[in-house]
Amino acid sequence: MAEEVKLLKTWSSPFGLRAFWILKLKGVQFDFIDEDLSNKSPLLLQSNPVYKKVPVLIHNGKPISESLVILEYVDETWKQNPLLPEDPYERARARFWAKFGEDKVLVSIWNAFIKQGKEQEEAIGLAIETLKFLEEELKGKRFFGGEKIGLADLALGWLANLIGVFEEVIGVKLIEKERFPLLSAWMQEFAEAPVIKESWPPHEKLVTKFRAIREPYVAAAAQPK
């Protein structure tokens, strides 16, 4: 049977981008569909009935959902250019940082993005505290994965691109080079890596999209209490 690999994603979703990256990095032949989330395809609804979200990877008709689960599935199924090291301890560390990125970094940055006034100040403070852990982890390393891009790099990679978008929309710098020299260097190196650099969604389109997402929060905060 010919291998059939299909990726359901959207043009902008950073989660979908992770799956896109790993398939490209591994040289896997695949098709992708950019979904319109206001009008989800029957295939999406059928393939991810629990969450009805992207990304979904469909491999020979079998669906896999949740981007970090997809990353590990792809790494285990196509063994070339492995994303995770062999050593169990190093694997645990890579998974730890991928999870930290999801549970803490993403959440704290998002709060800094949507909150207003005093709450935003606090959220920015918290985001910076969170980012300091990443800065610390990069000591002596080129990537979170060491000499080459690994699982944690793909999990955190959205930072390299979306941080600039968020900063532009809110008018606040979150990752300053002086405070985060290693993280800044990593963001640049990751953003320009082969495969990665060709994949970024158009910047202006992202700015427009996220500005629109932020609007209701700005409006709500401007309401007299």
Partner 1 sequence: MAKSDVKVLGAWPSPFVMRARIALKIKSVEYEYLEENLGSKSELLLKSNPVHKKIPVLIHNDKPVCESLIIVEYVDEAWSSSGPSIIPSDPYDRAVARFWAAYVDEKLFPALKSIGSGDGAEAKKAAIEQLIEGLVLLEDAFVKCSKGKPFFGGSQIGFLDIAFGCYLGWVRVTEKMNEVKLLDEVKTPGLFKWAERFCADAAVKDVMPETDKLAEFAKVLAKLRASGKWN
Contacts with partner 1 by CB under 8 A lie at 50, 59, 62, 64-66, 68-70, 72-73, 76-77, 88-89, 91-92, 95-96, 99-100, 133
Of 18 and 165, which CB lies nearer to partner 1 in the complex structure? 18
Per the CB < 8 A criterion, the answer to whether 34 and 6 are in contact is no
Of 162, 140, 143, 138, give the one whose Cα is nearest residue 153: 143
For residue 53, give the amino acid letter: K
Of 11 and 78, which CB lies nearer to partner 1 in the complex structure? 78
| Least CB distance to partner 1 at residue 97 (A) | 9
| Least CB distance to partner 1 at residue 66 (A) | 6
| Least CB distance to partner 1 at residue 64 (A) | 5
| Least CB distance to partner 1 at residue 163 (A) | 20
Of 15 and 210, which CB lies nearer to partner 1 in the complex structure? 15
| Least CB distance to partner 1 at residue 82 (A) | 13
CA distances from residue 25 to 71, 82, 167 in whole angstroms, order as listed: 11, 9, 29
CA 225 – CA 221 distance, rounded (Å): 9
Residue 218 CA from chain centroid, whole number: 24
Of 62 and 205, which CB lies nearer to partner 1 in the complex structure? 62
CA 133 – CA 156 distance, rounded (Å): 13
- Torsion angles phi and psi, residue 6, rounded to 5: -130, 135
Of 96 and 200, which CB lies nearer to partner 1 in the complex structure? 96
Per the CB < 8 A criterion, the answer to whether 125 and 141 are in contact is no
